[in-house]
Amino acid sequence: MSVLPIVTYDDEVLRKEAKPVDENSKEIQELIEDMFDTMYNSDGVGLAAPQIGKLLRIFVADADPMTDDEGPSFGPIAMINPKITTNSDQEIDMDEGCLSIPGVNATVSRPEKITVSYLDKNFQQQELEVDGWWSRVIQHEADHLDGILFLDHLSLFKRKLLSSKLKEIAKGEKEIDYPIVPKKAQAK
């Protein structure tokens, strides 16, 4: 399969709502495999289709490397048309980063526990109740499908503190170990 370039935070595709996937196809299955290859090549734990320029409601995740030995292990998961159906009232602060915003991390508050319903890679309906890292990753990737970045959860002050790093990414001056496509580089 293929490792695809990841678009950076300043690309408008990341601000659009992704479209539902209506049916399984060879192209969808190849896209999912490419997304896993891209995620693992980039040392990520999640990747949404908009991050590779595809406005489809699909993301892949594998948060097992982040969980401790006591937490549940789900292995690599593809979620098609995911919908978070319940959120716990309790929120937890955790550090987040994003493959589309390389080298930028910040503390984000999110519900600790969620339930998500989705179609799996075989287009079978599934429901999963998760907490900890899995909850965090699923919420982060589901946000991507709605055109939301983790930066949007930060205060204006915190975003201003990150502005120099964001400008470096936008100009294509940030050294990254995986292929990215800054918006300004696309215009050249």
Choice among 96, 112, 127, 141 that is catalytic: 141
Fold of 6-173: Peptide Deformylase (3.90.45)
In our burial notation (b when 16+ CB lie closer than 10 A, e otherwise), range 128-146 reads bebbbbbbbbbbbbbbbbe
Q: What is the mean pLDDT of residues 130-146?
A: 95
Q: Is 127 tagged catalytic? A: no
Question: Does the pLDDT of residue 188 top 50, yes or no?
Answer: no
Residue 109 contacts residue 153 (beta carbons within 8 Å): yes
Residue 59 contacts residue 80 (beta carbons within 8 Å): no
What count of Cα atoms within 13 Å lies in the side-chain half-sphere of residue 75? 1
Amino acid at the residue 145: L
The DSSP bridge partners found for residue 180 are: 6
* C-alpha distance across the termini of the chain, in Å: 28
pLDDT tier at 140, thresholds 50, 70, 90: very high
d(CA 5, CA 10): 14
> pLDDT per residue over 46-99, tens digit each?
999 999 999 999 999 998 777 666 667 788 999 999 999 999 999 999 999 999
Alpha helices in 42-148 (DSSP H): 132-145
pLDDT computed for residue 187 by the predictor: 44
List all residues 6 or more positions away from 31 whose beta carbon is below 8 Å from its beta carbon.
Answer: 49, 54, 56, 58
> pLDDT per residue over 36-48, tens digit each?
999 999 999 999 9
pLDDT computed for residue 72 by the predictor: 72
* Domain locations along the chain: 6-173
Q: What is the mean pLDDT of residues 128-135?
A: 92
pLDDT tier at 182, thresholds 50, 70, 90: confident
Q: How far is CA 20 from CA 23, 59, 181, in A?
A: 9, 12, 25
The two three-digit tokens of residue 175, written as one number: 């050294």
The two three-digit tokens of residue 173, written as one number: 């001056």
d(CA 82, CA 102): 25
